[in-house]
Structure 1
Amino acid sequence: MSSADNKRTVIVGIFTFLAIVILVAGIFTLAGQQKRLISTITVTAIFDDVAGLRTGNNVWFSGVKIGTIKSINLYGDSQVEVVMNIEEKVQQYIRKNASARISSESFIGNKNIVIDGGTQSAAPIQDGDRITAVSPLNTDDLMEKLQQNNENLVAITGDFKQLTSRLVNGEGTVGALLTDTTMAQNFRDVVGNLQRTSQSTVNASRSLSAFTNKLNSPGGLANQLATDKEVFQQLKNSMTQLEEATASTSEITENLRTASSRLNNNNSAVGVLLNDQQFARQLQSTMQNLETGTEKLDQNMEALQSNILFRGFFRRQAREQAKQQEQQKQQPAPQQVQPKDTTRQEFKPSILIEN
């Protein structure tokens, strides 16, 4: 063979060797990604719907890739059995009460299985165990809900557009506030009044606080009522006396009411005097007759004093009165004695004489 052929053979051999090396490296790389050369255990889960899960997709645990999907088989009437190859070294972290759920790498990315480790009280899983499967979220249901949300958003946007247009046109209270200067000024006045009211309330609260501080100051009436038992007892006694006085006043009022009712009663003497006009006229006539009789009696007495038959008697009476007055003057402690009206007491039959 010529040197050129030898050179060509060597170059072809080198490229063949490099191709074999690249092929072997690719095989080992792919095997490493697919966990083909790592000791694994088999774990199964039964799903109602795998939502597009495929053989070879990844299995994740706490954000770490721990295996791949070995196979997907129909199970029972309408369920699907998913067989997973899981690295043996993570077996101790996954418990028998762990659960598997289908997730996706992105919104439209590849599907994968995520395993939740379970509780520490459960034993680790073994080769061939079956773990609980959690049904995945249906993409069609998600899209339907998204479509409903979009329709609701469109309706809300239309309502908001209508609301903003009414505000711009000055319709409604808020629109009037935005466009009507008079209403805006009234609103400012209301806010100002509220501020003044708030300030007045603050001032009243301060005054009330100062007043309560004075009430609580030592020596004050309120402080004594709250702390001094003697003052409280005196106040209690005063209230008792006031209650007794009130009861007495009520009794007096009741007596006055009873007396006034009796005065208004025509069956009593005072009631007749106050209410019976005929009796009042009769009484007035009687008093007039008595006054007339008294005048006539005085005239009869004057006539008797002038009568010769009784003139001596009246003179003796006058001398006896004068003598008694002299005796009273001579006594050291004279007592005032009213003279007897002999003219009216001794001669009652004067009326008979006149008659």
Structure 2
Amino acid sequence: MNRSVAVGLFVLIGFALFTAGLFLIGNRHEAFQKHLTLYTEFADLSGLAKGSKVEVGGMDAGRIEEISIPNSPSSKFRVRFRIIDTFRGLVRKDSVASITTAGLVGDTYLSVGPGSSASPSAVPNSTLGSKEPIELADLVGQAKGTIADVDETVKNANGLLTSVGGNLNVTLGTARGTLIDVDDVVGGLKRGEGPAGMLLHDPEVASSIRRTIANTEQVTSSLRITADQTNALVNDVSSRSIPQKIDDVLVSVRDAASNLDSTTKAVQTTIAELTQPDEHGVAAGVNLRDAISNVSTATGNMAEDSEALKHNLLTRGFFRKRGYYTLTNISPAVYRRDRLSASPGNHRSWLGTDQLFHQASNGTEELSSAGKELIDQELAKYGDAVVSHPIMVEGYSAGTNTVEKIETSRARAILVRNYILSRFHLESMSVGAVALDDQPPKGAGRTTWNGVSIVLLSRAR
């Protein structure tokens, strides 16, 4: 019995260790986690292989699952990889995948850069933009060419400096010969040889000769300093790390060109997605135009239906109580029949044409400054009621031609309505304008008028 128990415990412990090892190995290879599958494409893999790791933002996030070989030189290797679902928030549509090497001789892996916050998250099985790898051999070759050019430049500079040094040596030799000649002349002068020797007794001449000798020595010293500076210039050019600086500039230019290429591809992909046809083969522009047309038709139908409900016998009371009744498009016939137009509780201001308008330079009527002040004075009498009650501007014209009376009365009503709206900042639906020719509604207190009547309605319509 004890032996059976020991065997059982041994089997259980072995099974537990096997399960724990399986779990650890699966967890190591992310076998029990949810993944997001994505694609990218490269013209050159640079050693990237199936099973290579994938990093997102510098952190291990997944593995390369498969690499599809292109069927033509113009095509690219299509790389399928997966990442842990927790990195989904970092991978966006504008994320760029690149092939990176750990150090100079380390393993090659796929690096995915986090996208921008404004871009949507990458959907499963979508293709990310890529950045082609930069081969070290190409950089070394370019660096060798650059170094060769710099070496040639330094050689030319050395030749030029050698030539300058030779010319300086000739000049120095000439200067030395001149000094020797000057010494001979001075010696002769001191010995009193020739007529010039007599000048030695003249203090001014002796002083002038001394200054000439001092200046000659100064010129010689300056020539030596110039030669030393030239040699220092040659040494400085040779000691500077010019090849390394030029190589850094080339790498920066190459990276900028690669980023521009990735951006161009992303823009092209977005345009292609927006303009591609739907499942029925209809272009995106046609679908957008049809959608706008349908929305316009629907809103027009809704406006017509709501307007019909406003005038329906059963529902117009509901709209009147809730302020849905608008005065902006009421017709003269409906306005004359409405009992509110001639209600005794209305406040009316009768303003004549000569009080409100004057003729503009183009021959049309416009509100005068005195007319605007008169309108302000009339509405100021009603206080807060101007804001809480609807206002109707009735336009009148005393002309003989019916068409002319309609046009003139309407133009006058609209001019005054627009001024009231802008002056008192009222809602457009609560201020109306109606053209009534020259005949006010029955019960308004007048049988004819030429000008405008501002009516403050006694209750909400």
Indicate whether the TM-score tops 0.5.
Answer: no
Find the structure with the greater CA-based Rg: 1
- Richer in helix (by share): 1
| Structure number with higher relative contact order (C-alpha < 8 Å, ≥ 6 residues apart) | 2
Using structure 1 for the length normalisation, give the TM-score. 0.39
